[in-house]
Amino acid sequence: MIINGHMLSLKVSEQHHNTPLHQFLKEEAFASKPIIHYWMEHRKVRINQKSAQHGAKVSLGDHIVIDLFETEESDVTPEYGDLEVLFEDEHLLIVQKPAGRPTHPNEKGQIGTLANLVAFHFQANGEEKRVRHIHRLDQDTSGTVIFAKHRLAHAILDQMLAKKWIKRTYIAVAEGLFKKKKGTINAAIGRDKHHAVRRRLSPTGQHAITHFQVTGVNKRLDMTAVELQLDTGRTHQIRVHLSSIGHPLAGDSLYGGSGVMDRCALHAKKVEMKHPFTDEHMSIEAPLPSDMAELLHHITS
């Protein structure tokens, strides 16, 4: 696989000689049936510089080129505002989500979300694109969020997330003093039948694993700074897991935290992964917002 801007090039090996084109694209470009159908309908695939036809087969040595560029009407209302871009190329966008802003709209026409700012960013750059988030953060959580800029990037990044090939690191301040310096919380999470928003540990819930490591302690404040990594991405996962071991996040009133902050003391610090097309190692870090930086300073000083 060779990428040049938005053009993806593939060479047919002996293994795929006389293979149907759709099967070759599924195996070598990691494309689903709907993506391949879109490409064919929009004449995005060329075999040896000729437009590919439905039902075509590929032969040894064939040169396949796919144009990944897409023009689509945005499904999110663009909204002007400050957007902190941490990384961007033709395939993905990684931004810093500020605390207090939802990741995406819950209904058509809604504004005030991170996705609205991303839609405006695309519009301002002359890019007609849908907004495709790969993962979400709670409204109160700040930090890194990944967006795909076309449907193949979305599909591959989704697979990478499911296979745990995207490493997400969080920083939090929790109440109380941890008995262990590091550990793993492996407990399923489900809905709380008695509360519309809350989640709780539930043996019939979704599998959830959180790894934590203590990075600072303040006995006077009775608070602990921790770094966390997730194997799964359940709603409120860190908040539920830490609360379940008696250490709710500072500021997290929903799960028993005190009001030391106006929000949950949680920041999605970093994402690490291989670029889905270039294989380049990426480590993208979001700067600490001022409220988290100040609280962590008190913990560690």
Output the CA torsion sign for 18, 24, 27, 33: negative
Q: How far is CA 86 from CA 93, 116, 160, in A?
A: 8, 17, 20
Amino acid at 215: T
Q: How far is CA 298 from CA 96, 169, 263, in A?
A: 24, 21, 17
Q: How far apart are CA 44 and CA 73, in angstroms?
A: 18
Residue 73: name the closest of 7, 145, 153, 127 by CA: 127
Residue 237: name the closest of 107, 132, 141, 145 by CA: 141
- Buried (b) or exposed (e) across 232-257, using 16+ Cβ within 10 A? bbbbbbbbbbbbbbebbbbbbebbeb
Query: Active-site positions?
Result: 138
